[in-house]
Structure 1
Amino acid sequence: MSNTVTRDDLLAYIQPFWAEITEACEVLAVDAAELTQADGFLQSVIDNLFVMTADHSLTKWERIFELDVKPEDSLTQRRERISARLRAQGTVTKQSIENVAAAFSGGEVDVIEDFANCSVTVKFVGTFGVPADLESLTAVLRDTLPAHIAFAYAYTYMTWAQLDAKNYVWDAIDGQAVTWDDVDNGALA
């Protein structure tokens, strides 16, 4: 977010008598507008150095990681995919799988290893319901995990005990205009 520089901001840095000269004030007003524009440009450059705040540099990241982009993909989905690829670099470990999955779920993830069956289960424990971009997470895990490792997902939903602990009455739930799927996915959490 860029800062707006005003003529008065610049007047604070020079001798007070300049404020009485119309031409000097006009020059400072133009300078203030240029400084505001330069600050916005600089902020945009800084934002595009980091994946989670980038916008126009995402195309470069996607090219580096050879990611397919669909026209309907949001900036958030594109950022999550790139972030997951960055987290997936190096040796595949339980922690690296958790990091990749957390990039998509926005919450804590637990990976349950089953060595006997050559599989892992990715359990979403920090958020309720199914993550929004599960298709992309699946694609990243297929690219990341060794070919002989199968994977599955386990989701966390709101339980009756958690709902009862909130001491809701039915009228209060109905008043919030939520569906049962919303309740399962933590809308009342």
Structure 2
Amino acid sequence: MYSEDYYGVLLYSQPEPEPDGSVVESLTPDLMAYLPAYLNASRTMTELQAVEAGEIGLINARRADLLNQCFIDTATWALVLWESELGIETDLSKPYEDRRQAVKAKRRGSGTVTKQMIITTVLSYTNADVQIIENPAVYTFTLKFVGIMGIPPNMANLVKTLDDIKPAHLSYTFEYSYSWWDKIAGLTWSSCSTGTWDALKVY
């Protein structure tokens, strides 16, 4: 309750942001619709109801935003609480999506580490399928990416999480797929002259 996250990182230095104006507007009721029609001619009544409706819209938007923080896929300012609970170092410079992936991967990595758990963790970070080639004699395993060419995105965060969840006595390597020469030999110069060598490697 009195930890750094609740009082140092979130509530004081990172206050809950105000809801987006368009969201507030969409959740603002028309209170005049609930009153007798003759009151529409009253400026006092219409202004009063407009103020009250605006406050109700703000409350509704804040309530919806608070509910979003309860789910990893929609959490924003409360991601710091998810990270704190799972022992993940908070980096506010990272995009929300990267931080959400880290939280989901860490949750999946809780408990006994299995082959399927590692596959699921890799998928959550890179959106790429992977095959695990085990080498028990030398205490290593290879993560071979399939269905994707080149190096997948978000590898730095994946490596950090894998180091956290894998058994300490095991090491691992990655295997990536690139285009072979025969595959691109049939291309014409005009079809590939606008690209780069890096692009051809994953053609």
TM-score range, shorter chain: 0.7 to 0.9
Match of 1:76 in 2: 97
- How far residue 3 of structure 1 moved from its aligned partner, in angstroms, is 5.2
Given that 1:84 and 1:104 are in contact with CA atoms closer than 8 Å, whether structure 2 keeps it comes out as yes
Match of 2:44 in 1: 23
Aligned residues: 182
CA distance in 2, matches of 1:174, 1:20: 71
Match of 1:63 in 2: 84
Q: Alpha carbons of 1:140 and 1:20: their partners in 2 closer, same or farther (altered >3 Å)?
A: same
Letter in 1 for 2:30: D
CA distance in 1, matches of 2:45, 2:183: 67
Q: Alpha carbons of 1:180 and 1:13: their partners in 2 closer, same or farther (altered >3 Å)?
A: farther
Aligned residue for 1:12, secondary structure, equals helix
Given that 2:142 and 2:175 are in contact with CA atoms closer than 8 Å, whether structure 1 keeps it comes out as yes
Given that 2:135 and 2:141 are in contact with CA atoms closer than 8 Å, whether structure 1 keeps it comes out as yes
Unpaired runs of at least 5, structure 2:
1-19
Q: Alpha carbons of 1:163 and 1:8: their partners in 2 closer, same or farther (altered >3 Å)?
A: farther
CA distance in 2, matches of 1:93, 1:64: 22
Match of 2:170 in 1: 149
Residues 69-124 of structure 1, C-alpha deviation per residue, up to 9 Å, x if partnerless?
44643333222222210110111111110111111102333333333443322233
Among the aligned pairs, what percent are the same residue? 27
- How far residue 149 of structure 1 moved from its aligned partner, in angstroms, is 2.0
Letter in 2 for 1:121: T
Is 1:123 the counterpart of 2:140? The answer is no
Unpaired runs of at least 5, structure 1:
none
CA distance in 1, matches of 2:98, 2:142: 22
Q: Alpha carbons of 1:42 and 1:109: their partners in 2 closer, same or farther (altered >3 Å)?
A: farther
- How far residue 39 of structure 1 moved from its aligned partner, in angstroms, is 2.5
- How far residue 128 of structure 1 moved from its aligned partner, in angstroms, is 3.4
Q: TM-score, normalised by structure 2?
A: 0.71
Is 1:50 the counterpart of 2:71? The answer is yes
Q: TM-score, normalised by structure 1?
A: 0.76
Given that 2:179 and 2:200 are in contact with CA atoms closer than 8 Å, whether structure 1 keeps it comes out as yes
Single out whichever of 122-131 and 101-110 deviates more from structure 2: 122-131
Moved over 4 A (4+): 5-8, 158-164, 167-170, 172-175
